[in-house]
Amino acid sequence: MRTTKTGKTHRWFAGVAAALSLAIGSSVCFASPRELKEVDAAIRARGGRWLASETSVSRLPAGARKMRLGLLKRAATDAAPETQGAAPGPTLLAPASFDWRNHNGVSYVTPVRNQGSCGSCWAFATTAALEANLILTTGAGGNLAEQILVSCSGAGSCNGGYIDQASNFIRDTGLPGEVAYPYTATDGACASAIAGWQAAAAGITSWHYVGGTSRPTAAQLKEELFTYGPLVTTMSVYSDFYYYAGGVYQYASGTLQGGHAILLVGYDDVQQCFIAKNSWGGGWGESGYFKIGYSELGSAVGFGRYSQAYYTDTAAPSLTVRTPNGGESWDRGTTRAIQWAYTGKPASTVSVELYDGGLFAGTIASGLPIGSGGVGSYSWGVPADQPAGALYTVRVATSDEAFVDTSDGPFAITVPVPPSVTLATPNGGEVWTRGTQRRIAWDSTGNPGAYLKIELLDGGAPVSTLTTKARRAAGYWTWKIPARLAPGGRYTIRVTSTASPAYRDTSDAPFTLQ
C-alpha cells in the first residue's frame, strides 16, 4: 500500500508539474537565449528602435508560435484586388498623429484578445475592425464572436484563413455578440452556435482595399484610417517579431514564419510608425499592441499589404446632378467635367445621358463608377460636331432607374470662337513722352492664353521685353516709359501669347517717343 501510495503521489506530482510547465513554465523548457541574443545584436547593428525580450509567444515551441499566425495570402499571380462595394473616399486631411484608442477622449477599439493555439488571426483582425466600426457608427461596442467566422464563414479555420472572404461574410451575414458562440481556439462546428444567431448579427455596408491596390502607401493608409476608422491589415512575421517588447519594430533578423492579420489603429509621424492591435493577448508587446516603422511597408515584412477599410452607410440614398446645372456655356470640341453628388449607396454604377429641349439626344457614358466621397464625375469630350444649342440638360441615373436627377436648368453648347490677340494702342501715329505712363491695350477672342509678352521694337528690331506677365484678360498693361530711352519715330509694340506664340500682333504703324 505504501509503495502504491508513493507511486500515485509521484504520478500525481509529475502530472501537475507537466501542466505547470506548459502553463507557466514554458520559458524554462522552450526559451532560446541564443536566439534572443542574436535578435538583440541585430537590432543594435541596424540601429533599431525597439526592445527584444522573452515574451509569452517567444517562450512557446516553434510549432505553437506559428499557430499564433494564420493569414492565407492571395497568390502572387493574382491580379490586384478590386474594390468591394462603393463607399466615400478619404476627403479629410489626416493630422500628424492619430490613435483610435483615444480620439477626443473616447476609445473606438475593443480590448485585446488572444487567439491562442489556433491560426485564426484573420478572424480576430476582421472582427476587431467590425467592432470598431460599430462603435463609430452606433456608439455601442462589445466583443463579437470570432468563433462564428472560424466555424461558420467558410473563410478559414485554425489552419489559416482569408481576410477578403471573412470581410465578405461580415458584409453579407454579419457577426453576433460573443455570447452566441464563445471562442474555443478550435475549428468547432457551426451547429454549436446559439440557434438564430443570424438575427442578432451586425455587419457593414461595404469594404474595400485601401488605395485599390495590394501595396498602399503610408499616406493612403493614414488617410483611410483617419476617414473610415481602424483598418484590417497584414504583414509577414519573421522570428524576431516574437521577441517584440516595445518601441518601433523594424525587421532585424530571423526566418519567415508566415502571414499575419492585425488591426491598424493609429500612426505617429514623429516616430515614423504605425500602431497596430495584435491578437496575442495583453501580455505581449505594449499591452497587446505594437508600433511598426513606416519603412516596413517596403521591407520583407510588407506591412500594410491588402489593407481593408470597412464602411457602414447611415445616410438615406440620393443622387443629384451638380454640373452642368443650368446657365453654363460649353464649347464643342472641348473637355468638360460632368459632376454629380450622392448620399448613402444608391448604386455602384450610373449612366449619363444628354437631352436637348427635353428630348433624348444620346448616351454620353454608361456603367460609370458612382464615385467616392459622395461625389462622382466624368470627363466628357464635347463632340466637335455637336449641334449648337441653348436647351441642353444632363441626366444621371442608376442602372435600375431607382435614383435619377437632371440638370435644374438648360446649358448651352456653343461654337468656339477662334483665339486671337489684336493690339489696339499704340497702333500708329501716337506721340508719347518719355518719363510718363501710358496704357498698352489689346483685344482678344477665345482663349489664346492667360499671359502676354510685350516687346518694344525700333524699326522692326526688338529693343527690349517690357513684361512677360501681362494678364491677357485685363486688356491693358501700364507702361512706365523710361526717360533714358532714345527719342524716335519708328517705335512699335508687339504682344505675344506666352502659351502659344502663334497668337501675336504688332502696331500697324510706328508711334513716336519724344
| Residue 79 located in a structural domain | no
Same domain, 304 and 432: no
Mapped onto helix, strand or coil, the DSSP state of residue 4 is helix
Question: Which strand (E) or helix (H) includes residue 98?
Answer: strand 97-99
Q: Which of 118, 152, 260, 325 is catalytic?
A: 260
- 243 phi and psi angles, rounded to 5 deg: -90, 5
Same domain, 67 and 11: no
**Residue that finishes a domain, picked among 353, 386, 414:** 414
| Residue 445 located in a structural domain | yes
Same domain, 409 and 434: no
| Residue 440 located in a structural domain | yes
Same domain, 21 and 42: no
The answer to whether residue 278 is catalytic is yes
The answer to whether residue 260 is catalytic is yes
pLDDT of 25 > 80? The answer is no
Question: What CATH number should be reported for the domain holding residue 361?
Answer: 2.60.40.1930
| For the chain, percent of residues with pLDDT exceeding 90 | 78
User: In angstroms, rounded to a whole number, what is the distance separating the alpha carbons of residues 150 and 432?
Assistant: 90
Same domain, 142 and 44: yes
Same domain, 166 and 268: yes
| Residue 77 located in a structural domain | no
pTM: 0.58
- Domain count of the fold of the chain: 4
263 close to 348: Cβ distance less than 8 angstroms: no
- Considering Cα of 97, then 102, then 103, then 108, what sign does the dihedral take? positive
Q: Which of 114, 118, 121, 208 is catalytic?
A: 121
Mean pLDDT score, 241-265: 97
Strands (DSSP E) along 224-334, which ranges? Answer: 231-238, 244-249, 256-268, 273-277, 289-293, 308-311, 318-323, 329-331
Same domain, 6 and 59: no
Same domain, 448 and 343: no
Same domain, 207 and 114: yes
Same domain, 102 and 118: yes
- Per residue in 395-429, pLDDT (tens digit) is 999 987 889 999 999 999 999 989 999 999 999 99
Same domain, 23 and 37: no
| Torsion of Cα atoms, 232 then 312 then 157 then 242, to 10° | 20
Cα dist. 372→5, 58, 91, 242, 510 in Å?
76, 44, 9, 39, 59
Average pLDDT, the chain: 89
Q: Which domain holds residue 17?
A: 1-28
**Partners of 414 in the β-ladder:** 331
| Residue 87 located in a structural domain | no
Same domain, 246 and 174: yes
- Per residue in 356-379, pLDDT (tens digit) is 999 999 999 999 998 877 889 999
* Omega within 30 of 0 (cis) for the link into 81: no
Question: What CATH number should be reported for the domain holding residue 213?
Answer: 3.90.70.10
- Per residue in 72-92, pLDDT (tens digit) is 976 433 333 333 444 444 444
**Residue that finishes a domain, picked among 379, 414, 449:** 414
**Residue that finishes a domain, picked among 263, 287, 311:** 311
Mean pLDDT score, 1-10: 34
| Residue 46 located in a structural domain | yes
Q: Which of 114, 133, 168, 278 is catalytic?
A: 278
| Residue 509 located in a structural domain | yes
| Residue 196 located in a structural domain | yes
